[in-house]
């Protein structure tokens, strides 16, 4: 694989705009800037959490900065509400990326397009993002996972960029991985009978969720910051793919969901943690679909690397 020429940056700020949890008393650190308190705390608008994910990624280099939105959460107005509470100016956003087509990552685009001035703004997606999907749980419960509306996005003015392969954004400083190569052997995704897509009017197995894609920044003298919203391709596969794509071996930070929660995935926690320890990232910020068992395992295995994901927190990774 020929490495992608990813331009190193001086720093990247990763703000958790939407995630499953919030802890207003979490302590800050050199890397973690928590949302601040105000005097009339009880009457001001509060940050919201939900089963969804969204990051605001702001890179710094050559005396300037650029901002990207990675996913948009589930609620129609959760991301916009949290932008307001955090006083993040949506006009700074230059591009957006959808990690995959599940509703807890794209539904917030409906509210965001009115605020982002999306006419002509790039929105990078994998072609499978448009698949209508469902999850059929072993207990018989089914959960519909509708795709984003292509017509709605077109009318909102997004410049939709469909690509299975890698894409460079923000003047070559941010990489969208495209479809992730799956080499670990044990990160096989959903069982085919559980995750299905409506193809030619028939529900067909779609366990791989091939549209799963991460975003990557190379911080000068530190290494890669890899952000993966759900890691349906497997967190280890995502990290190894990012290393191969960039030719940069060291992972400075991993931020995102690892999809290790629930009975279908908990059996691969120990193998995942074993391989994560071998990769040895400086920081791990597991959120969203990682699950409490995997979170505890990461804290035990990598206590100095673990950072708590938290709605409203900005993680500052700098050279």
**pLDDT surpassing 90 at residue 42:** no
- Do 236 and 264 meet the contact criterion of CB atoms below 8 Å apart? no
Collapsing DSSP to helix, strand or coil, 104 comes out as: helix
Confidence at 57, pLDDT banded by 50, 70, 90: very high
Q: What is the Cα–Cα distance from 315 to 319, expressed in whole angstroms?
A: 13
Strands across the sheet containing 202-205? 142-145, 133-136, 195-199, 202-205
pTM value is 0.97
Q: Which two tokens stand for residue 265?
A: 């995935």
Packed helices 235-246 and 269-279: angle between N→C axes, nearest 10 degrees: 30
Domains, the chain, ordered by start: 12-36+47-318 (3.60.15.10)
% of residues, the chain, pLDDT over 90: 88
pLDDT digits 0-9 by tens, 110-163: 888 888 878 899 999 999 999 999 999 889 999 999 999 999 999 999 999 999
Average confidence score pLDDT of the chain: 95
Tokens of 272: 């995942």
Rounded to an integer, the average pLDDT of 157-182 is: 97
Give the tens place of pLDDT for each residue, 100-117: 999 999 999 988 888 887
Q: In this model, does residue 249 exceed pLDDT 90?
A: yes
Structure confidence at residue 128 (pLDDT) = 98
Instruction: Give the pLDDT of residue 40.
Output: 87
Neighbours of 150 (CB within 10 A): 13
β-sheet bridge partners, residue 217: 225
Q: Is the pLDDT of residue 311 over 90?
A: yes
What average pLDDT score do residues 275-301 get? 98
Q: Cα-flanking dihedrals φ and ψ of residue 246, to 5°?
A: -95, -20
Q: How many CA atoms lie within 13 A of 277 on its CB side?
A: 13
Give residue-wise pLDDT tens across range 190-246: 999 999 999 999 999 999 999 999 999 999 999 999 999 999 999 999 999 999 999
pLDDT of residue 116: 82
Which H/E stretch holds residue 151?
helix 150-155
Structure tokens, 16:
């958790």
Given this model, what pLDDT does residue 29 score?
95
Does the pLDDT of residue 167 top 80, yes or no?
Answer: yes
Query: Residue 3: is its pLDDT beyond 90?
Result: no
Specify the pLDDT at position 158.
Answer: 94
pLDDT above 80 for 309 = yes
The pLDDT score that the predictor gives to residue 279 is 98
- Integer angstrom CA distances of residue 23 from 49, 51, 316: 10, 15, 18
Q: Residue 187 is encoded by which pair of tokens? A: 């990160």
């Amino acid at each position: 694989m020929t490495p992608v020429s990813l331009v190193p940056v001086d720093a990247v700020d990763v703000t958790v705009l939407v995630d499953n949890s919030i802890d207003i008393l979490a302590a800050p650190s050199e890397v973690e800037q928590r949302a601040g308190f105000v005097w009339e705390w009880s009457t001001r608008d509060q940050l919201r959490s939900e089963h969804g994910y969204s990051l605001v990624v702001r890179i710094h280099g050559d005396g300037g900065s650029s901002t990207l939105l990675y996913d948009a959460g589930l609620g129609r107005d959760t991301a916009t509400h949290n932008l307001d509470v955090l006083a993040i100016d949506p006009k700074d956003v230059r591009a957006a990326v959808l990690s995959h087509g599940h509703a807890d990552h794209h539904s917030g685009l409906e509210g965001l397009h009115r605020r982002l001035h999306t006419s002509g703004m790039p929105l990078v997606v994998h072609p499978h993002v448009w698949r209508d999907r469902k999850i059929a749980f072993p207990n018989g419960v089914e959960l519909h996972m509708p795709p984003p509306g292509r017509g709605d996005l077109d009318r909102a003015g997004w410049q939709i960029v469909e690509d299975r392969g890698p894409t460079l954004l923000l003047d070559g400083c941010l990489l969208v991985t495209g479809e992730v190569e799956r080499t670990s052997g044990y990160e096989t995704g959903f069982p085919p009978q559980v995750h299905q897509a409506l193809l030619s009017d028939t529900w067909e197995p779609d366990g791989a969720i091939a549209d799963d894609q991460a975003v990557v920044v190379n911080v000068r003298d530190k290494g890669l910051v890899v952000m993966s919203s759900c890691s349906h391709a497997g967190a280890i596969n995502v990290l190894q793919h990012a290393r191969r794509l960039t030719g940069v071996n060291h992972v400075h930070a991993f931020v995102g969901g690892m999809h290790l929660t629930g009975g279908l995935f908990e059996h691969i926690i120990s193998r995942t943690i074993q391989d994560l320890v071998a990769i040895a990232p400086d920081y791990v910020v597991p959120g969203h679909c990682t699950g409490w068992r995997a979170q505890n395992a990461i804290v035990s295995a990598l206590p100095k690397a673990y950072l708590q994901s938290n709605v409203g927190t900005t993680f500052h990774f700098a050279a």
